[in-house]
Chain A
Amino acid sequence: MSTKTPSTLEKVLNAGHLAVTSECGPPRGSDPEVIKKKAEMIRDHVDAINITDNQTSVTRMCSLAACIQLKLMGVEPVLQMVTRDRNRIALQSDILGAASFDIHNILCLSGDHQSFGDCSQGQNVHDLDSMQLIQTVRHMRDEGKFLGGDELKRPPQMFVGAAANPFADPFEIRVPRLAKKVAAGVEFIQTQCIFNLEKFEEWMKGVRDRGLDEKVHILAGITPFKSAGMARFMQKRVPGMDIPDHVVKRMSDTPKDKQAAEGITIAVESIQQLKECKGVHGFHVMAIEWEEKVPEIVERSGLHPRPAV
């Protein structure tokens, strides 16, 4: 895969290194220090940091502004953008705004449904879906044109990503769905948190059988459990999550004061195992409000120091 943008993440991946990304959720307020503090904890252990876009449909500081904060710190952001809240005018406008700050990575998502968030009575937009957003960014970047066909000055130079959930139903279309995103022009994928490694490997086999791993960089999603309670909650309550009973049991069988450490160990073991999985080109560590543990996970997984590219 040839490098098309100034993105460090793209360079790391195309140089054949295992990439490491992580994510920071912006605050429910306007204090920039919150995002800076989180980014400071992990900046030396990752190639880029995703900023979530009103995740779980709860209103937060906008992803674009938080990405600019990272950029001002000299940290590479991945702008997460959901199609739930903006129509094609606003999406293209925000892409240009991000490009004006030389934000070089974007993750195209549809977004959680608003009924889960703090504005459950609100309207959603979904003028585009995530695949169409991928196409939109590629069109703006590669053709230098707006969706409407007009030329745009100084096209965005963005490495285009999307999410994949190997565990959602129906399983049989999980590989075709990735193929569809690849056809739409996606260049990197960050997956849903992986706890069922067997099922993930089954999905990856399907991905390899179709040669999709040659066309898109797949970053495996890793989330450490803080506690057995968190494992049980995610297993039962989070849609599209696949957490095998033996993983929950392993957390529950651990004494309470050692559960956090066990969660980290499970994450590290998963990375070690997935490093051997052909087609996995890196890891996306989603340590939900537990950013301080990212360096330990990255170091123990042998992914530190990060390569200079």
Chain B
Amino acid sequence: MIVADRKPVEEIMDMVKDASSVLILGCNECVTVCEAGGKKEVAVLASTLRMSFLNQGKEVRVDERTLERQCDREYLEEVRDVADRYDAVVSLACGVGVQFMAETYPRLPVYPGVNTCFLGVTEERGLWTERCQACGQCILGQTAGICPISRCAKRLLNGPCGGSTKGKCEINPELPCAWQLIIDRLNALDRMEDYEKLMPVKDWTTDRAGGPRKVVREDVQS
């Protein structure tokens, strides 16, 4: 899933300080799972904003809505009837939702309420870690199912750098060295010989380097 983190309330307050009506718009998907932008967080942020405005002596209407998804047009249409009643929308969806909301309502100021971080997993409640950088050309088959692009600080494709110490990354003693994980798993799978296969120079055109990407599925378009 896409993992996001809450923005400081002060930053959000600063974005909407001139509005007299604000809609806090949550998303029921990834940001709900990572507890950054679902219904609960919408309620918490809305009441915090109401109190802040009240303390400043401002009369501001702060409403709450949470959509099934903000990355699908049909769900964004659910606020069509009320969208023009607000001076600002704070979207607690990931950056995709914020952008799609802004695109759908061109005259409505839409602000991000969270920082979108990465594609990751829930390790335990309150702990999410990165697993994928969506490079568009998956190499997990060659790396024992562990991604060195997202999990190695230097995204090295052919093995650990010289800084790997006691299985940890040189930039952070708490961070597992991705290549240590790969080697351990290759060992467990009795596939150590795979390590010595040289990974060729990577084609990054399917990554950010190729510009904004798209997936076309003509078979499902009709």
A: residues with CB less than 8 A from B are 84, 88, 110-113, 115-116, 124, 126-132, 135-136, 147, 163-165, 168-170, 172-173, 176-177, 179-180, 183-184, 192, 239-240
CA distance A184 to B200 in the complex (A): 10
Contact of B196 among A84, A110, A116, A180 (CB under 8 A): A180
Contact A240 B164 (CB under 8 A): yes
Contact B162 A163 (CB under 8 A): yes
Stretch of B39-47, B134-142, B151-159 contacting A (4+ beta carbons < 8 Å)? B151-159
Contact A113 B201 (CB under 8 A): no
The answer to the question of B214 belonging to the interface, with a C-beta cut-off of 8 Å to chain A, is no
CA distance A242 to B192 in the complex (A): 25
The answer to the question of B177 belonging to the interface, with a C-beta cut-off of 8 Å to chain A, is yes
Q: Which of A124, A132, A164 has the most CB of B within 10 A?
A: A132
Contact of A169 among B154, B167, B171 (CB under 8 A): B167
The answer to the question of B165 belonging to the interface, with a C-beta cut-off of 8 Å to chain A, is yes
Contact B171 A113 (CB under 8 A): yes
Closest to A166 in B: B162
Interface residues of B in 164-192 (CB under 8 A from A): 164-167, 170-171, 177, 179-180, 183-184, 187, 192
Contact of A240 among B155, B165, B171, B195 (CB under 8 A): B165
Contact B198 A184 (CB under 8 A): yes
CA distance A300 to B119 in the complex (A): 57
Contact B201 A169 (CB under 8 A): no
Contact B180 A239 (CB under 8 A): no
Contact B154 A239 (CB under 8 A): no
A282 shortest CB reach to chain B, Å? 19
Residues of A close to B163: CB separation below 8 A = 112-113, 168, 239-240
Closest to B148 in A: A129
Contact A170 B155 (CB under 8 A): no
Contact B165 A239 (CB under 8 A): yes
Contact A169 B177 (CB under 8 A): yes
Closest to A169 in B: B164
A194 shortest CB reach to chain B, Å? 13
Contact A240 B201 (CB under 8 A): no
Contact of B164 among A115, A128, A170, A176 (CB under 8 A): A170
Contact A176 B198 (CB under 8 A): no
Contact B201 A126 (CB under 8 A): no
A26 shortest CB reach to chain B, Å? 21
CA distance A224 to B80 in the complex (A): 72
A115 shortest CB reach to chain B, Å? 5
Contact B158 A180 (CB under 8 A): yes
Contact A168 B201 (CB under 8 A): no
Contact A129 B204 (CB under 8 A): no
CA distance A183 to B158 in the complex (A): 12
A180-B156 in contact given A165-B162, A169-B165 (Cβ < 8 Å): no
Residues of B close to A165: CB separation below 8 A = 162
The 7 closest A-B pairs by CB, nearest first: A165-B162, A239-B170, A239-B163, A131-B158, A240-B162, A240-B163, A129-B156
CA distance A170 to B53 in the complex (A): 56
CA distance A184 to B197 in the complex (A): 10
B101 shortest CB reach to chain A, Å? 28
CA distance A11 to B205 in the complex (A): 41
Residues of B close to A112: CB separation below 8 A = 163, 170
A–B complex contacts, Cβ < 8 Å, 29 sampled:
A113-B163, A113-B170, A115-B153, A126-B154, A126-B155, A129-B154, A131-B157, A131-B158, A132-B199, A132-B200, A132-B201, A135-B201, A136-B201, A165-B162, A168-B164, A169-B160, A169-B164, A169-B165, A169-B166, A170-B167, A170-B180, A170-B183, A172-B183, A173-B159, A180-B196, A184-B158, A239-B163, A240-B161, A240-B162
CA distance A135 to B200 in the complex (A): 9
B153 shortest CB reach to chain A, Å? 5
A179-B154 in contact given A170-B164, A173-B159 (Cβ < 8 Å): no
Residues of A close to B196: CB separation below 8 A = 176, 179-180, 183
B59 shortest CB reach to chain A, Å? 40
Residues of B close to A84: CB separation below 8 A = 154
Contact B160 A168 (CB under 8 A): yes
B60 shortest CB reach to chain A, Å? 35
CA distance A172 to B165 in the complex (A): 13
Contact B164 A124 (CB under 8 A): no
Contact B201 A110 (CB under 8 A): no
Q: Which of B158, B160, B198 has the most CB of A within 10 A?
A: B158
CA distance A163 to B200 in the complex (A): 19
Contact of B156 among A110, A169, A173 (CB under 8 A): A110
Contact of B154 among A110, A163, A180, A183 (CB under 8 A): A110
Closest to B186 in A: A173
Q: A126-B156, A131-B157 known; 17 other A-B pairs, CB under 8 Å?
A: A84-B154, A111-B154, A113-B170, A127-B202, A127-B204, A128-B201, A130-B158, A131-B158, A131-B159, A132-B157, A168-B162, A168-B164, A168-B165, A169-B177, A170-B183, A173-B183, A239-B165
